[in-house]
Amino acid sequence: MSIDVQNRWAERPPGMRDVYPQQAGLRRRLESRLLNFFEQQGFELVSCGLLEYVETLMRGRSVAEADQWLRLFDATGRTVALRPEMTPSIARMAVPLLAAGTREIRWCYAERVYRRTVDPATLSWASGKAAESTQVGIEWIGRTGRDADADAIALCQSAVARLELEGWQLVVSHALFAPAFLRACGVPEESVAGLTQCLARGDYVGFREQLAPFNLEWDVLDLLSRLDPLAERGLPAAVHERFAGRPDGATALAVWEELVGLAAVLRERGLADRLSFDLTMVRDLSYYTGVVFEVFAPGVGAPVALGGRYDDLLSQFGASAPAIGFAVEVERMLTALTDGAWLVHGGPDDCREEGTGC
Amino acid sequence: MLTVALAKGRTADGVLPLWRRAGLPLPDDLDDSRALVFHVRGEDGGAFRYLLAKPADVPTYVAFGVADVGVVGKDVLLESDREVYELLDLRAARCKLCVAGRPEERSRRPRRVATKYPRLADQYFRSLGQAVEIVVLSGSIELAAVIGLADRVFDLVQTGATLAANGLVVYDEVLDVSARLIANRSSYHTKRAAVLNVVDRLREALVELEVTP
């Protein structure tokens, strides 16, 4: 073999990845295992087209999120985008049924999703965001409350546990807590968004720099990162005292109580072993309104599964209902399961023997 | 075990005293040996593995999770644009990212800029509304301005001695750079206690350093 210096073969667009026989088999088996499990749990498989109108995807979102979408014009001149995730499509499909009186919807899916990126696919599958990746997930519409949240987290944990992934950790946070906490600590409204963006990026140095001019009496980042709804000790008394008298403090306290309640349910149901809370975890999707969670595994730099509650999104589509959902990032999960071996063309025949669950 | 990616050279030299002060274990032969991987056990029993990497590769090692944490300059971190947690400003290995060139070029519009930082240079000149051609080089950037390949260089300046020796002057200081502690997103959650231990010790050492430098 030699390098094709004359460019004899057809080129592949950047970000796209060819998946050869053994690899494709591994991926399909993982998708099937997850789908079978979700179907056993009472979730029905749905599917839809790859393109959505940008206007559909924009509902309930900030303009900045659209920056990552692959947008183009359809034959009539309307802007469409390759779906960056399945939740908006599912919302679009579910709303007519809800309007006609359906109370609860449990759907699952296995689809490719698309994003703008310049990284090669192998790189972004393991770490950042891939141009094309596969998500297998569920959307559970119509239920709210701590039991519904715990059910979704339990389902995510069981799905991950069935894949025999090693060393995983499920991290829980709440979309409304960090912003409310910052406001209640005395951060002016116009600075809250910038600070939560720092948290979403994991830029703790930038967070401290932006917070420094306000001369707050507490180390807010330290306090926030050490709050643990699972621990018996609860919220520090000083925090409780300060928050009780303020409207934004009341929001933070209410969310805190919600999380303590959820933590108690999780502990009771034996779901707290591989689970921790990190209230500095903020997601870069603006439609989340409640609990959010991410599953981390050694050897990959981004979550292998992620989800959260979005109670206001469906009303943007014309019928209001609470909802929660999550998706497993299939290629990243395979990278974690096989320690990267699945990326090697013709490589990981031994991955079955090692009990990697594929 | 916690794996730490260190940037060989200036960044490591600036950060190691702080690392020692924080009581974090370090191999004795780090400077002399040609090895790239070192195993050490701390007094409290915590095991550390150190990787010596090229500075520009530290964010990559950390983003991929082969290193749990890393020490790298803010310049490299911004240029790499990898998804990692930036946990702590170590306030060491300080320098400045600058635009420099020959004195007689200063009054002219920039046309061609030589740099190791194509992303940051592009952002900087675009934010000034100036269209420039970026020439990517991997070292001795000053040379480009001396021999006229470029009319500006966009590079790190520590003492200014290299610039002065080549007859170049600083036009603008773009960014204050210092070493940062970064962490892999998974490691931060799956090895939280070990990572926070490193953060806490370094923060204590930084506070001590402010009181008794």
Model confidence band, residue A118 (pLDDT cutoffs 50, 70, 90) = low
Q: How many whole angstroms separate alpha carbon A268 and alpha carbon B51?
A: 43
Q: Which residue has the higher pLDDT, B64 or B104?
A: B104
Residues spanned by the domain of A113: 17-167+322-358
**Which residues in chain B touch residue A276, judged by CB atoms under 8 angstroms apart?**
189, 192
**Cα atoms in the Cβ-side hemisphere of radius 13 Å centred on B5:** 24
Q: Does B99 touch chain A (CB under 8 A)?
A: no
Domain-located, residue A70: yes
CATH number at residue A103: 3.30.930.10
Angle value at C-alpha A13, between A7 and A16, nearest 5 degrees: 120
Domain-located, residue A101: yes
Please name which of A202, A244, A239 lies closest in space to residue A220, comparing C-alpha atoms: A239
Q: Is the C-alpha dihedral spanning B104, B109, B111, B117 positive or negative? A: positive
With beta carbons less than 8 A apart as the criterion, state whether B134 and B124 touch.
no
Give SS3 for B36.
coil
Instruction: Indicate whether A76 pLDDT > 70.
Output: yes
Alpha helices in B65-117 (DSSP H): 74-80
Residue B148 vs residues B141, B143, B144: alpha-carbon distances, Å: 11, 8, 6
Chain A closest CA to B70's CA: distance in Å? 13
Q: What per-residue confidence (pLDDT) applies to A350?
A: 45
**Which residues in chain B touch residue A297, judged by CB atoms under 8 angstroms apart?**
186, 190
User: Is B86 in Cβ contact with A276 (below 8 Å)?
Assistant: no
Q: What per-residue confidence (pLDDT) applies to A345?
A: 56
Per the structure, the count of domains in chain B is 2
Digit-coded pLDDT (tens) for B146-156: 999 999 999 99
Counted across chains A and B, CB pairs separated by less than 8 A come out at: 71
Model confidence band, residue B11 (pLDDT cutoffs 50, 70, 90) = confident
Of B64, B82, B190, the CB nearest to A167: B190
Q: Does B23 touch chain A (CB under 8 A)?
A: no
Chain B closest CA to A98's CA: distance in Å? 38
Instruction: Indicate whether A352 pLDDT > 50.
Output: no
B8 and B85 fall within a common domain: yes
State chain B's mean pLDDT as an integer. Answer: 91
Q: Which residue has the higher pLDDT, A352 or A214?
A: A214
**Which residues in chain A touch residue B58, judged by CB atoms under 8 angstroms apart?**
none
Q: Does B91 touch chain A (CB under 8 A)?
A: no
Of B87, B187, B189, the CB nearest to A171: B189
Model confidence band, residue A189 (pLDDT cutoffs 50, 70, 90) = very high
Q: Which residue has the higher pLDDT, B100 or A241?
A: B100
Model confidence band, residue A126 (pLDDT cutoffs 50, 70, 90) = low
**How many CB atoms lie under 10 A from the CB of residue A321?**
23
Residues spanned by the domain of B34: 2-93+178-211
Digit-coded pLDDT (tens) for A283-295: 877 889 999 999 9
Digit-coded pLDDT (tens) for B40-63: 887 777 899 999 999 999 999 998
Per the structure, the count of domains in chain A is 1
B23 and B74 fall within a common domain: yes
Which two tokens mark B173? 């200081």
Model confidence band, residue A32 (pLDDT cutoffs 50, 70, 90) = very high
Q: What per-residue confidence (pLDDT) applies to A351?
A: 45
Q: Does B1 touch chain A (CB under 8 A)?
A: no
CATH number at residue B46: 3.40.190.10
**Cα atoms in the Cβ-side hemisphere of radius 13 Å centred on B13:** 4
User: Is A126 in Cβ contact with B65 (below 8 Å)?
Assistant: yes
With beta carbons less than 8 A apart as the criterion, state whether A352 and A98 touch.
no
